A and B are shown apart, each in its own frame.
Chain A
Amino acid sequence: MLCAGVIFPLILAVYAGPEDQALIVRLQRRDPQALAELYDLYGGLAYSLVLRVIRDKAIAEDLVQETFLRVWNRVHSIDSERGAIGPWLLAIARNRAIDYLRSSAGRERNSVELDESEHAPLYREMESGIFISDQVRRVKAAMDKLAPNYRTVVELAYFEGMTQPEMSAKMGQPLGTIKTWMRTALQSLRDELGVAVSSS
Chain B
Amino acid sequence: MNCDQLREHYELYAWGLAEEPERAEIREHLQRGCKVCEPAVKRALETRALLGASAPAAQPSAQLRRRILASVGVERRGPGWFAVWAMAAALAAMFLFLSFVLQSRGKYVEEAFRSRAAFAILYGPNTVEASFGGSQPLPPRGKVFVNSSQGVLLIASNLPRTPSDKIYEMWIIPKGAKPVPAGLFQSSEDGEAMHIRRGTVDVASTAAVAVTVENRTGADQPTSTLLIAAALTR
Contact = CB atoms under 8 A, between A and B. Distances in A.
Interface of A: 5-10, 13, 32, 35-36, 39-40, 43-45, 47-49, 51-52, 56-62, 64-66, 68-70, 72-74, 86-87, 90-91, 93-94, 99-100, 103-104, 106, 109-110, 112-114, 119, 122-127, 130-131, 135-136, 138-140, 143, 154, 157-159, 163-164, 182-183, 186-187, 189-190, 193-194, 197, 199-200
A172 to B, nearest CB: 19
B168 interface: no
A38 B13 CA distance: 28
Given A10-B57, A87-B46, A131-B50, 6 more contacts: A6-B56, A62-B183, A70-B218, A87-B45, A157-B17, A200-B39
B15 A72 contact: no
Nearest to A193: B47
Interface of B: 8, 11-19, 23, 30, 38-39, 41-61, 63-65, 67-69, 71-74, 117, 172, 174, 180-181, 183-184, 197-202, 205, 215-218, 220
Contacts of A109: 220
Contacts of A65: 64, 67-68, 71
Best-buried of B8, B19, B64, B183 by chain A (most CB within 10 Å): B64
A44 B201 CA distance: 28
A74 B60 contact: no
Nearest to A157: B15
Given A58-B198, A106-B205, A197-B43, A10 B218 contact: no
Nearest to B15: A157
Most chain A C-beta atoms within 10 Å of own C-beta, residue among B18, B59, B67: B59
21 contacts: A5-B57, A6-B56, A10-B57, A35-B69, A36-B69, A43-B68, A44-B57, A49-B52, A61-B64, A69-B217, A114-B13, A122-B30, A122-B42, A124-B42, A126-B45, A130-B53, A158-B15, A158-B48, A186-B15, A199-B43, A200-B42
